[in-house]
Structures are given as structure tokens and as C-alpha cells.
Structure 1
Amino acid sequence: MKYILPTILLASFVVLSASLQPESRGLLCSACKFLWKEVKKELPVVADYEEKELKAAVTNVCSKFTFSIPLLGQLCDNIGDDVITDVYKFILQEDKEINPDKICTHLNEC
């Protein structure tokens, strides 16, 4: 009897956690795609630029939109030099252009 309430609470927590993850994931996906669409406006063809220019464009977009786009600040906080390097190499291997769908899938945000 005394284990029923804790068991119910635990089960409720598990169900609630599982139901929140897809929505949160969807919002991060949207923020990710928004970020890279805006970066693409600044750097249409990445092959024409160096990695430092990609980093500057990401930093610029993050500073402009962090407070107006849900979860963009969280996403920008997680984009360090290693992520920029990874994305830069990924872009050069793929299309040499920024493709928000492919990048966000590559980063496991979508």
C-alpha cells in the first residue's frame, strides 16, 4: 500500500518526460533551421569563405536573434568552435552550400 503513491508518481513522471521530448526536439529543430537559413543569407556559398567567416556569421545571427526565436539562445550556447569546424567540413563535403535541413540533421537537432 505505501508503495502505490510513489509508483504512480514515478510512472506519471516517466510519461510526462516522454511526452515533452518530441516537442522540445521540434523546437530545437526549428531554431536550428532558422539559424542556418539566416547564416546562408550572409554566406550563400561556403566554399568561397573560410571557417572563421562561418563562425563570424553564426555569431552575428545568434546575437541578432537570440531573444526573439525560442530556444535559439540554447542552441547558440552549444555551438562552440568544434561544432563550427564540424559543420564547415560537413558543408564542404556535401554541397559547398549551407543546407539547413542537412546541417540540422547532421547535428542531431532534427
Structure 2
Amino acid sequence: MKFIVPTILLACFVALSASLQTDSRGLLCSACKFLWKEVKKELPVVADYEEKELKAAVINVCSKFTLSIPLLAQLCDNIGDDVITDVYKFILQEDKEINPDKICTHLNEC
């Protein structure tokens, strides 16, 4: 009986910790998906464009929405040339189209 209460408390603590980590990551996941959905509107089929067009589209979306979506600003600040190159190669290997779910999972945002 002595061990039941501490065991239950420990289980609750572990569950709560996992839940909090998922929630904070989920917020960036939403911002990531929003970013790539907007980029997809500008570049429906990436195979028809070069990496520089993808970069320009990301910069354009970031500049449009960062003031109104704070988490998007944080995400955009972390997107450098290396991330654009990685995403461009990933898109060409996958579907040749922007798939926000796959991209954000690939970037470990979801």
C-alpha cells in the first residue's frame, strides 16, 4: 500500500511531462505547417523551380506573416540556407511537391 501512492504520483508526473513537451512542440508544428502551406501556394510543384525560388518564397511568406504570427517569426529566424537546401532536396526526393506534414516531420517540428 505504501508504494501505490508514490507509484501513481510518479506515473502522473511522467504523463504530465510528456504532455507539456508535446504541447510546446505542437505550437511550432502548427507554425511550420502554416509556413509550408503558404509556400506551397506560391510554388505548387517545386520540381518546376530552382532552390533559389524556394528560398525566395520562404522569405516572402516569412516577411508577410511574422508580425502577426509570433511563432512563425521564431521558425523563420531558424531557417537558413542550409535548411532551405535540405528541404529542397527532401522535396525532390519525396513527391516533388510541398507536403507540409512531411516537411515539418523531416525538420523535427512535428
TM-score, normalised by the number of residues in structure 2: 0.82
CA distance in 2, matches of 1:79, 1:66: 13
Contact 1:31 1:71 in 2 (8 A): yes
The share of aligned pairs that are identical, in percent, is: 92
Q: CA deviation at 1:70?
A: 3.8
Provide closer, same or farther for how the CA distance between residues 13 and 94 of structure 1 changes in structure 2, counting only shifts above 3 A: same
Task: Return closer, same or farther for 1:20/1:50 CA change in 2, 3 Å cut-off.
Answer: same
Greater Cα offset, 14-23 or 80-89 = 14-23
* Runs of 5+ consecutive residues of structure 1 not aligned to the other structure: none
Q: Deviations over 1:8-62 (max 9, x none)?
A: 9999999987653222101000000000000000000000000000000000000
Quote the Cα distance in structure 2 between the aligned partners of 1:89 and 1:102: 13
1:6 to 1:107, Cα distance in 2 relative to 1, 3 A: same
Q: Over the residues paired in the alignment, what is the CA RMSD in angstroms?
A: 3.6
Of residues 68-77 and 2-11 in structure 1, the stretch that sits farther from structure 2 once superposed is 2-11
